[in-house]
């Protein structure tokens, strides 16, 4: 049950998706506060055995080992990169593979990567021109840097290089997506329209709920042909005006769900007014998370990300649902890691897209959850119940378990319950995908 990529960033646009981010396929029962597929390259899985990437033949080892060997790292780095693939990576990219990569072998990719590194060492200021000419990561072509932190949703090798580079220094690192010729750049100045006063606050340490309106412009992922045509038709200046007008209306007290439906270009929340759970370990676009964790209840702020403007409002936490295991959720966490299995059940107002959930009424859902809990208590096999009932396509048929930890790429309510269960205990929690009946197995 990986993060459900619905928000923006994460091929639809989801909050977490930027190039080279984690882009595990959504299992319909987690969430990353937005995620579908990453806007650029991305995956949560690391590459294959040493000397191979993407399942092809041996590849040249041209990593900048002197940089990767450093023990001094920074907490945050802004980087730009040129991604270069080769034909053996077709299994990683599928039909989205850049034709330039499809037409070259590894030797040609390694040669080009080394040439580009030499040019960037000689002239770091040419990074934008090199990216525009050569990069095969669509996210990098926006011209904006990626902000990388230790907990950012990028593949490990990408983060390891980014956090060891010095400003205006360049290096090469290989991931399952190819060679990344990377340059660390100075952080961009804050946008004067952003809520910089709020961003200067110390962030909260708990989980908050927020709603947001996404406003994009030509050149950001939300403006892709398969996304919202409004973004593709406006420039940055027009987006600035639109976002500021929505911010003023939200701050004046207009209903956020109504503003989202009318204006937002986030496919994961625009039509349903969905609120996202944001915590310190949530896998989301850094600037989105930074603002969300600093807002007071009912406060509105604005922040820009690689996906556009976000007008964000923090909302009060909802009252607990009558089906939830309030007694278990009231406990302190009993473990730092757990292995759990779950049954996802939705209803007409809240579901993961399964036809059964879409057709089910809330009274029918209540009765089904209670009946299922009774069957578990009587000793029926949990895996058999998953196969029969669960609406999580990532685990229902297989009986797959999920590893839960504070930083796991899962929706916060799922983590909250999973880390409070004793081994063998079952409980119920609500998320934006429905009701989860969770059993801790280890």
Q: Which CATH architecture has domain 196-315?
A: Roll (3.10)
Q: How far is CA 270 from the centre of its chain?
A: 17
- Which pLDDT tens digit goes with each residue over 59-94? 999 999 999 999 999 999 999 999 999 999 998 888
The residues spanned by each domain of the chain are 65-185, 196-315, 326-440
Three-state SS at 67 = helix
The overall pTM is greater than 0.95 = no
CATH code for the part of the protein at 65-185: 3.10.50.40
Over residues 106-111, the mean pLDDT reads 97
Helices (H), 255-361: 256-263, 286-292, 326-329, 355-359
Assess contact for 30 and 414: CB atoms under 8 A: yes
Range scoring the smallest mean pLDDT among 142-151, 176-185, 418-427? 142-151
Beta carbons within 8 Å of 254's beta carbon, 6+ residues apart: none
Q: How many CB atoms neighbour CB 129 within 10 A?
A: 11
- Which pLDDT tens digit goes with each residue over 128-168? 999 999 999 988 887 889 889 887 878 999 999 999 999 99
Q: Rounded CA gap, 71 and 51, in Å?
A: 24
Nearest to 5 by CA among 437, 348, 432: 432
Query: CATH fold of 326-440, please?
Result: Chitinase A; domain 3 (3.10.50)
Task: Provide the percentage of residues in the chain whose pLDDT is more than 90.
Answer: 67
Residue scoring higher pLDDT (353 or 18): 353
Beta carbons within 8 Å of 409's beta carbon, 6+ residues apart: 2, 3, 22, 24, 30, 32, 44, 153, 283
Domain 65-185 and domain 326-440, same fold? Reply is yes
């Amino acid at each position: 049950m990986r993060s459900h990529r619905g928000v923006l960033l994460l091929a639809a646009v989801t909050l977490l998706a930027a190039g080279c981010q984690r882009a595990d396929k959504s299992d319909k029962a987690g969430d990353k506060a937005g995620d579908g597929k990453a806007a650029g390259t991305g995956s949560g899985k690391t590459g294959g055995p040493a000397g191979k990437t993407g399942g092809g033949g041996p590849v040249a080892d041209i990593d900048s080992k002197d940089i990767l060997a450093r023990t001094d790292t920074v907490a945050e780095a802004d980087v730009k990169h040129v991604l270069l693939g080769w034909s053996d990576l077709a299994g990683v990219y599928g039909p989205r593979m850049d034709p330039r990569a499809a037409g070259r072998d590894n030797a040609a990719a390694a040669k080009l990567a080394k040439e580009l590194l030499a040019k960037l060492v000689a002239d770091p200021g040419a990074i934008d021109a090199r990216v525009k000419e050569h990069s095969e990561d669509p996210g990098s072509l926006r011209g904006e840097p990626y902000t990388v932190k230790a907990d950012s949703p990028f593949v490990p090798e990408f983060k390891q290089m980014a956090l060891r580079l010095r400003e205006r220094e360049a290096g090469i690192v290989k991931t399952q997506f190819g060679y990344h010729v990377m340059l660390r750049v100075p952080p961009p100045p804050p946008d004067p329209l952003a809520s910089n006063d709020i961003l200067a606050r110390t962030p909260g340490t708990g989980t908050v709920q927020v709603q947001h309106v996404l406003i994009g412009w030509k050149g950001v992922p939300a403006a892709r042909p398969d996304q919202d045509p409004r973004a593709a038709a406006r420039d940055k200046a027009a987006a600035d005006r639109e976002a500021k007008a929505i911010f003023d209306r939200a701050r004046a007290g207009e209903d956020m769900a109504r503003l989202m439906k009318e204006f937002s270009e986030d496919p994961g929340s625009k039509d349903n007014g969905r609120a996202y759970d944001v915590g310190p370990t949530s896998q989301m676009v850094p600037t989105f998370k930074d603002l969300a964790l600093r807002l007071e209840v009912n406060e509105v702020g604005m922040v820009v990300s690689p996906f556009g403007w976000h007008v964000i409002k923090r909302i009060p936490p909802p009252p607990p649902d009558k089906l939830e295991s309030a007694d278990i959720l009231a406990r302190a966490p009993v473990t730092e890691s757990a292995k759990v299995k779950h049954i996802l059940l939705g209803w007409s107002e809240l579901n993961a897209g399964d036809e059964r959930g879409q057709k089910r009424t809330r009274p029918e859902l209540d009765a089904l959850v209670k009946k299922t809990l009774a069957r578990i208590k009587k000793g029926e096999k949990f895996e058999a119940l998953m196969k029969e009932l669960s609406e999580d396509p990532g685990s229902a048929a297989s009986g797959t378990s999920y590893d839960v930890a504070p930083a796991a790429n899962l929706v916060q309510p799922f983590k909250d319950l999973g880390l409070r269960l004793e081994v063998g205990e079952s409980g119920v929690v609500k998320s934006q995908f429905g009701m989860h009946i969770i059993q801790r197995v280890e």
